[in-house]
Amino acid sequence: MKILLIAPNAEPRPVEIDGSLASMQSLVGGLIEAVYPFNDPVVLICNDEGKLTGLPQNRPLKHSETGEIYDIVYGTFFVCSVPADNEHFESLPDDLIEKYSKVFALPKLVCTDCGEEFPKDELYPFSGELLCPDCLEAKTVLCSHCGERIWRDDNAGDESTPLCQDCYDRHYTNCHSCGDIIRISQTYYACESDGNEYPFCYDCYTSRTSRKSIQDYYYKPEPLFRGDGDRYFGVELEVDGAGEDDDNAAEVMSIANGNGLENLYCKHDGSLDDGFEMVTHPMTLAYHQAEMPWAAILRKAVQMGYTSHQAGTCGLHVHVNRNAFGETEAQQDAVIARILYFVEKNWEELLKFSRRTQSQLDQWAARYGYKDQPQELLDHAKKSAHAGRYTSVNLTNKNTIEFRIFRGTLKYNTLVATLQLLDRICDVALFMSDEQIKAMSWTTFVSGCTQPELVQYLKERRLYINEPVESEAEV
C-alpha cells in the first residue's frame, strides 16, 4: 500500500507499507488514530497519544475555508486513501500524493505565544515553548548578573537591571530611599528614625548625609592617602562627654581640613556615651607631624568640653597598611608575625604605655597569648577562636592591621608619641629577623627611640631606661 509519510522536520515522501495494523503502529510509534480533516477521500493516521507523551511538534491543521490553525499534529503521521464505499485503507493515488505533498510541505513552525508561523531557525526554544523574536523580546529578558534567560514576569530586579530570583537574593538589594536595585557590595547603610539600619544607594546616602557632620557608623569613604611614603597611619580617636553634636564635629573638621584637603571625618560610635569618633585618612608619620594640625584639633576638643583619656570610654586605634610590610602576602605575614611577637613579648611595657588596665584590654583589645616563634603566634592569631576585631592587633581587615591597645587622649605629645612608637615597632619587625626580635630587650628597643615626643612620653611612663620625668595630666 502506497502512503504519504510526514515526519517532523522532514519533507513528505511516498512510502510502501504492507497495510497491516502493525506496520501502521510502527510508523507512528504507538496506537493509531484516524483523522478525517479533508474533503478528499483521504485519512490522516497519527499517534493517538502524541501530545500526551511529548512527541515533537510536526504539522498544523487548518480550516479549509479560513486557513486558521485549529490543531497541531505531534509525532510522525501518514496520509492514505479511504474511499467512501470502502472500510479499508488503500493506497494514495499519485494525484493526491502530489496534492498532499504540497499541503504538508515542510512548514514553518508555530510560535507558542502568538500562534504565527515562522521558519524553524527563527524560533527560540525556551522553558518548553517556541517563541518568535517579537514574543521572545516581549515575554523574556536576560538576567544582568548571570546571563540566564527568564520570563519577564519572574524578573526580581527592574527594567534596567533584570535579575533572576537567585541572583537578586545573593547579590542585590533595593535602596531604601529611591527603590533602585543596587549591588550589596555597593550598598551604604544608615540608621533611620526608627533606629533600624537600611540599605541606600550612593546618591541617596550622600544626599542624606550631606547635611551631617557626624556620619553613621558604617560610613567609609574611599581612602585619600596623604604624604609621600610607603607606610601610612590611619587614626581613629574617640572623644566623649560634650555631645554627639554636628556643630562641634564641624568645628573640628574645619580645623583638620583647613588646608583645602579632606584629612579627617567624624562618625557615630555606639560605645560612647555622648561623643563621636574622629577618623583620619591614611597619612605618613611625617604628614601627621608636619601637616595635620593635631595640636589645634585637640585643643578645640578640650575647649568644647570633650575628654578622651579621662572619659574611660574612649580608645585610640591606629591602622597601618599591610602593603608597607612587603609586596607578597608571605612577606607581609612574616613582618606581621614579628609585630605580634613583639607585642606579646613586651606586653607589660606596652600595657603601661597604653594607659589602659588589663581588664579594659581584655574587653576591647585582648592579647593572643605568648608563643615561642613569631610564625606560630601568627598561625594562632588567624584561628577562628581569635579572629575577632577586639584584639590587641586586629587582623580582620583586608588592607590594614589595627593597633587597638591605646587609651584615648587629647594630649598632643601622647598622640604623636603613640604614632612614633608604632612606627618604631614596624621598623624593627620589618628590618630584623625572627631571632633578632626574640633576642631584643625592651631596653634595647627604647634606646633606639630618638624622637623627642616619644622619648618624653616613655620617660613619663617610666619606660625609658629608668629616667622618669614629670608630666602633665592626660585629658
- pLDDT tens for 260-288 read 889 999 999 989 989 999 999 999 999 99
Is the pLDDT confidence value at 110 over 60?
yes
Kindly tell me if the per-residue pLDDT of 192 is higher than 70: no
Give residue 194's pLDDT: 62
pLDDT average, residue stretch 56-61: 91
- Determine the pLDDT at residue 267: 95
Question: Is residue 134 classed as helix, strand or coil in its secondary structure?
Answer: helix
Question: The whole model's pTM is what?
Answer: 0.58
Question: Class for domain 233-460, per CATH?
Answer: alpha beta
**How far out from the chain centre does Cα 224 lie?**
23
Highest mean pLDDT among 27-41, 85-99, 195-209, 296-310: 296-310
Cα 433 to Cα 323, 375, 400: the distances in Å are 18, 12, 22
Residue 447: other Cβ atoms inside 10 A:
11
286-312 burial by CB neighbour count: b if 16+ within 10 A, else e? ebbbeebbbeebbebbbebebbbbbbe
Instruction: Return the closest-CA partner of residue 465 out of 445, 451, 437.
Output: 445
pLDDT of residue 387: 57
Question: What's the pLDDT at 258?
Answer: 86
With a CB cutoff of 8 Å and minimum separation 6, the contacts of 328 are: none
Between 410 and 215, where is the model more confident? 410
How far apart are the C-alpha atoms of 314 and 299, rounded to whole Å? Answer: 17
pLDDT tier for residue 462 given thresholds of 50, 70 and 90: very high
Residue in 179, 201, 181, 178 with CA at minimum distance from that of residue 190: 201
Structural domain boundaries in the chain: 2-107, 143-211, 233-460
Per residue in 151-190, pLDDT (tens digit) is 999 999 999 999 999 999 999 999 998 999 999 988 988 7
Where b means 16+ CB within 10 Å and e means fewer, 227-244 reads beeebbbbbbbbbbbbeb
Give percent above pLDDT 90 in the chain: 72
Among 70-79, 229-238, 365-374, which stretch is predicted with the lowest mean pLDDT? 365-374
User: CB of 225 within 8 A of CB of 232?
Assistant: yes
